[in-house]
Amino acid sequence: MCRWLAYSGSPALLQEALYSPAHSLIDQSLHSRLGAETTNGDGFGIGWYGAGPEPAVFRSVDPAWNDANLRDLSAHVTSPLFFAHIRASSGTAIQRTNCHPFRHGNRLWMHNGLINGFHALKRDLVLDVDPTLYPSIEGQTDSEVLFYLALTLGLEDDPPEAVAGTIGLVEAAGRRRGVDHPFQGTIATTDGERLWIFRYSSEGHSRSLFLTTDIPTLRALYPRMALLETLSDDTRLAVSEPLGDLAGAWNEIPEASYAVIAGGEAETLPFVPPRGSQARRPVHVAGSWPA
């Protein structure tokens, strides 16, 4: 169910993160080692920041490993902050609007995992989306509905709280509709400056998530590694699974945690979705809906 990568740091050619590493994201599209499936061939997407506050997004239904445009773009686009995602569909159609990352204004969002019983929960969750945001939903995926719920709950002000509230809503809907363990996965989101990554599942057994060690520490560990000299101090990479085997480089984000990365600093904190009366559904549902 998908693999992803989020890069923040010194401006880099996309191909250096997407194609060059031994176990690069493109390699993972055919040979994922930690994913739910080994093949992630149901489309892909990249999003990057450059000119202007809004990121560019390039998404396609082709498998990442055979897309000539992705290869060419990755060899020519440089960015200090970019997302990349390879998709393994859990059933929804293979179409560009179902590919990650999703964009709204200056925000990007991507997700690995699923909402269990989404068929049963979808209508409840879509109704909780702010009616003014609702018509902007383009695809069919659980991941995009999660994004619009988070936007509804204040993603632009406080991402950790908005994402927690979103998953609280999913879990509340699951209890209402008799779906066990409704949420599973990892999420990455950014405003073009800071990066937030989340790892959580209702059953307490989440998809993997890793964050690289800070560059000064890695340089001290590997004083002769040329690659490290080319990267700025604030460079960080968050990934579904490591791109290589360098000891000390890949740190697993613990179960039920999130991290915020800014200026190369990363802070990891517990992630606890609200429950019960705290998982309140947005009031617009009653308010904005004329009988």
Residues that bind a copy of itself (CB under 8 A): 13, 30, 38-39, 41-42, 48, 50-52, 56-63, 65-69, 72-73, 75-78, 89, 93-97, 119-120, 122-123, 126-127, 131, 134-135, 138-140, 176, 289-290
In whole angstroms, how close is the CB of 74 to a copy of itself at the nearest point?
Answer: 10
Q: Cβ closer to a copy of itself: 120 or 256?
A: 120
In whole angstroms, how close is the CB of 101 to a copy of itself at the nearest point?
Answer: 12
Q: Cβ closer to a copy of itself: 223 or 289?
A: 289
In whole angstroms, how close is the CB of 68 to a copy of itself at the nearest point?
Answer: 6
Q: Cβ closer to a copy of itself: 49 or 271?
A: 49
In whole angstroms, how close is the CB of 50 to a copy of itself at the nearest point?
Answer: 6
Q: What are the CA-CA distances from residue 225 to residues 200, 221, 246, 247, 250 (Å)?
A: 34, 9, 11, 13, 16
In whole angstroms, how close is the CB of 172 to a copy of itself at the nearest point?
Answer: 11
Q: Cβ closer to a copy of itself: 33 or 176?
A: 176
Q: Name beta bridge partners: 8.
A: 81, 236
Q: Cβ closer to a copy of itself: 95 or 268?
A: 95
